[in-house]
Amino acid sequence: MRAEIFQAIRSKLLLDTVLTSYIGEEQVFRSKPGAIITLPAVTLQPNSESSVVRAGYNNSKVRDNNPVLQVGVWVSANADGFPCSGEDADVIVGRIDAILLDAASPIPGTSGWMKVTSSQQYEGDTGLWHNAARYSFRYSVIDS
């Protein structure tokens, strides 16, 4: 995924005052294996991406990219107060849905947002709730 598209997504999430009231300021990160994060948190991880050249590509150099973005919501059951449960993690994912799927206020440079999967896991040994939601969308690229 192009860096400017990733940053536009992250910025859109961080600018939402309802979401940041749930998780705190600057708690949206690019997912990094083994990284230690402060909970609650939201992680973003490009999952897959396909690219299709448009008709006339040899002249226009325009192609359409179709990525899938995995958004992880991490909540500790050991926390005092909201968020500390699977239901609280669901509330946070619901807010992320409202932000990413808002056709009236799209993320700049993107279109066609759809939620494709969602799951929730509880890790009993660590006391972590982890919701993973995947979203597909489109953006165009002009090759040089």
Residue 138, pLDDT score = 95
Count CA atoms closer than 13 A to 54's CA, side-chain side: 13
Domains and CATH numbers, the chain: 3-142 (3.30.70.1700)
Q: Are 70 and 93 in contact (CB under 8 A)?
A: no
DSSP output for 74-103: EEETTSSSSS-SHHHHHHHHHHHHHHHT-T
Q: Sorting pLDDT into bands at 50, 70 and 90, what band is 41?
A: very high
pTM over cut 0.85 = yes
Q: What is the pLDDT of residues 74-96, one digit of tens each?
A: 999 999 999 999 999 999 999 99
Dmax (CA) of the chain: 59
Residue 74, pLDDT score = 96
